[in-house]
Amino acid sequence: MNQIKKDEGRIEKWVLRRAFDDEEYPYLPKHILYRQKEQFSDGVGYSWIDGLKAHTARHVTDKMMSNASFIFPHNTPTTKEAYYYRMIFERFFPQNSARLTVPGGASVACSTAKAVEWDTAWKYNLDPSGRAALGVHLSAYDAETPLSNKPSKVIDGIPRMMAFPGVAIQS
């Protein structure tokens, strides 16, 4: 029986992927089953995320941000993007009971504040889209490097998490 060993640097969701890895009756081709999980911005495109950030910057002023804690005392938005989303939310759900259902705190790739506590490296990259999370998605900032040119490491036919220079994957 296989045991999970954190120090082996297995790809995310390894147990789930392994459960669907049937040699006789495969559910998915291996290159699909074991491909790297992508962040939100990778699915919609980085230019879309950049455009969204530019749009929110035009609609949320510095003065609005300086008064954010008075306007939104519960889970105060800390970025213009978050402030903009909060304005939309409050317009459709103005009740306090709705407001209290939304978790607050730092977020990376739409994770919770608890997830950020799990890996201290995440607290330095609080991008809700997850772009460039832990160095995995640095190609978002480098137009010359297509994702297909990224090196991958395969052990026993199973892709492992990639490590980039200067990035430590913590277990």
Please give the Cα distance from 58 to 40 (Å, whole number).
Answer: 23
Q: Give how far Cα 71 sits from Cα of 32, 99, 144, Å.
A: 46, 13, 43
pLDDT of residue 140: 47
Helices (H) and strands (E) in the chain, counts: 9, 2
Task: Give the tens place of pLDDT for each residue, 132-161.
Answer: 555 554 444 444 434 334 444 444 444 443
Q: Within 10 A of 138 (CB to CB), how many other CB atoms are there? A: 15
Residue percentage of the chain with pLDDT more than 90? 20
In angstroms, the CA 22 to CA 30 distance is 10
The larger pLDDT score, comparing residue 48 to residue 84, is at 84
For residue 39, the number of C-alpha atoms closer than 13 Å in the C-beta half-sphere is 23
Under DSSP, is residue 107 helix (H, G, I), strand (E, B) or coil? coil
- Rounded to 10°, the helix 46-59/80-92 angle is 70
Matching residue, tokens 């995995």: 136
Confidence of residue 59 (pLDDT cuts 50, 70, 90): very high
Average pLDDT, the chain: 70
Q: Is the pLDDT of residue 111 over 90?
A: no
What average pLDDT score do residues 122-128 get? 61
Note whether 41 and 130 are within 8 A (CB).
yes
Name the helix (H) or strand (E) containing 50.
helix 46-59
pLDDT > 90? residue 123: no
Q: How confident is the model at residue 51 (pLDDT cuts 50, 70, 90)?
A: confident
Q: What residues form DSSP beta bridges with 10?
A: 160
Helix or strand holding residue 154 (H, E): strand 153-155
- pLDDT of residue 110 exceeding 90, the answer is no
This prediction has a pTM of: 0.51
**What does the pLDDT read at residue 107?**
61
pLDDT at residue 109 tops 60:
no
